[in-house]
Amino acid sequence: MELHQLQAEVTAWSQRNFPNNKPYHPLLGAMEELGELTHAHLKLEQGIRGSESELKAAKIDAIGDIIIYLADYCGRNGINLQAAVESTWFLVSKRDWQKNPTTGK
């Protein structure tokens, strides 16, 4: 699935299920999920509170949720997620931090 298709589906689903959400609500959800991803990563590194497979599954779930929340955020704020990722990657991919560790340029 391409990002533009995901955004269209998430936007329609979200507006149907959460019609009263404010445009920033998905951002709050994304941040919560980022915390869950961080928590799973930390516990895996510490070797506590779950098996490797359980914590990897938690990380995968959090990553998926973050992308879905960001697609919803973009849809509610008139941002084309596909274009945002592509244009930003175009700029980032040109940076070379090994050749120029100060600026990447």
Domains, the chain, in order of start with CATH, read 3-79 (1.10.287.1080)
Contact 44, 55 (CB under 8 A): yes
Q: Which amino acid is at 48?
A: I
13-17, 37-41, 97-101: least confident range: 97-101
Model pLDDT for residues 16-65, shown as the tens digit of each residue: 999 999 999 999 999 999 999 999 999 999 999 999 999 999 999 999 99
- pLDDT confidence bin for 105, thresholds 50/70/90: confident
Contact 56, 44 (CB under 8 A): yes
* Chain-centre distance for alpha carbon 21: 19
- Distance between CA atoms of 21 and 57, rounded to whole angstroms? 28
DSSP-assigned states of every residue in 37-48? HHHHHHHHHHT-
Average pLDDT over residues 75-82: 98
Contact 1, 80 (CB under 8 A): no
- pLDDT confidence bin for 13, thresholds 50/70/90: very high
Torsion of CA 88, 93, 95, 99, to 10 degrees: 170
